[in-house]
Amino acid sequence: MGMHSAPRRARPARTSEEARFRLKRTLTPQRSGTQVVITVLFVVFGFTLTAAVSGNESESILANARQSDLVSLLDDLAQREARLEAENSRLENARETLLGGDEYSALNEAKRRADALGVLAGSEAIIGTGIEVTISGNLTASTLIDAIQELRDAGATAIQISDRGLAVRLVANSWFADSSSGITVSGTALQVPITISVIGDPSVLVPAIEIPGGLVDTVGSGGGEVTVSESENVDISAIVPLPKS
């Protein structure tokens, strides 16, 4: 910007050729103080650009997360740790008992499991808390199957179906069929009224029987009657003989 040169008139480039010429003229190297300053500025600019980009890349997800997110993340981890610690100590205990303890503890553990499995398999008689359901009137096999499924879902551990004289233990391979005077369970003909004895938590089992569309509803609409009684001494005495192996 010498004083001697005619003042350049500031006006927009008229044609694109003129625009390109101006760009080229500006880009041709000139020696002036401000050129040096600008160049230094651009060096710094480029340096800062890469610094900003690489700094952004190295930032992890955690650095950008909000405080609430971090807190919940930490909570999750703490809970998981507590869970794993508990499992660890349980397994350590079992290992201690089996390794260092006397042979009786291992034997007791095995017996306990055998008892539990015996109840499920129907090879053990059992007396415990549960409910007794007495059904009179018209009853079909499909209604009974639905009811038994509901009871199983509600956590029944042992189920027995009986009439006045006969009792049948229900296990995994039990079956039902309609018969003229009542119902046939696994080959045993039972006369109505029948009683279903169930071992389990009464507060869960009773709602399973009484839900809309459940056993009480279905039998009631067919003209029959259902009575449910809770008991602490439900006696399931019928057993399924173990197959000879």
Partner 1 sequence: MIPAIGLLVGIVLGLLFQPTVPVWLQPYLPIAVVAALDAVFGAFRSVLDGLFNDRIFVISFLSNVLVAAVIVFLGDQLGVGSQMSTGVVVVLTMRIFANVAAIRRHLLKA
Q: Can you give the binding site for partner 1, defined by CB under 8 A?
A: 1, 8-13, 15-16, 19-20, 22-23, 26-29, 32, 34-35, 37-52, 54-56, 58
Comparing CB distances to partner 1, the nearer of 63 and 172 is 63
The distance of closest approach from Cβ of residue 53 to partner 1 in the complex, given in angstroms and rounded to an integer, is 8
Nearest 5 degrees, angle CA 111-CA 116-CA 118?
90
Cross-strand bridge partners of residue 203: none
Comparing CB distances to partner 1, the nearer of 45 and 175 is 45
Query: Does an H or E element contain 232, and which?
Result: strand 225-236
The distance of closest approach from Cβ of residue 77 to partner 1 in the complex, given in angstroms and rounded to an integer, is 25
The distance of closest approach from Cβ of residue 27 to partner 1 in the complex, given in angstroms and rounded to an integer, is 5
Do residues 209 and 181 touch, judged by C-beta distance below 8 A? Answer: no
Mark 62-79 as b/e (b = at least 16 C-beta within 10 Å): eeeeeeeeeeeeeeeeee
Comparing CB distances to partner 1, the nearer of 34 and 138 is 34
User: Any idea which residue has 């059992």 for tokens?
Assistant: 126
Comparing CB distances to partner 1, the nearer of 44 and 84 is 44
The distance of closest approach from Cβ of residue 88 to partner 1 in the complex, given in angstroms and rounded to an integer, is 39
